Amino acid sequence: MRKLVLVVLIFLILTLVFIVIINYKNNLTGNIILSDKHHYTTAICNETNYCADYEITCENNTIINKTFTGAAVQYPESWQDPRNNETTIAC
């Protein structure tokens, strides 16, 4: 009797683990396909030519996060940003 309970308990645990793995895998795949989330880095410069590097996170063409990467540089006053005048942050 005790062995039967143990076998049933092990079977239920394995079934539960299998169901969780199948659901996790299906949800993960579905979320990746449906998500329009991407990351990129860009330097944002101020009027004194101090430029800091940021990681930009976009989802569905909207910026959802800007994180300073820790990298920055101070260019001389005569330096001009070679990028065009359009905004450097876009999704």
Q: Tens of pLDDT along 12-47?
A: 888 888 777 776 655 555 555 566 788 999 999 999
- Tally of domains within the chain: 2
- Domain of residue 55 covers 37-74
Judgement on whether residues 5 and 26 belong to the same structural domain of the protein: yes
Q: Is residue 55 part of a domain?
A: yes
Same domain, 6 and 24: yes
Identify whether the C-beta of residue 40 lies closer than 8 Å to the C-beta of residue 56. Answer: yes
pLDDT score, position 55: 94
In a domain, 85, yes or no: no
91 in any annotated domain: no
Measured CA to CA in angstroms, residue 59 lies from 35, 37, 52 at distances of 7, 4, 22
Domain shared by 44 and 67, yes or no: yes
Model confidence, pTM? 0.55
Element (H, E) at 90: none
Are 41 and 31 part of one and the same domain? Answer: no
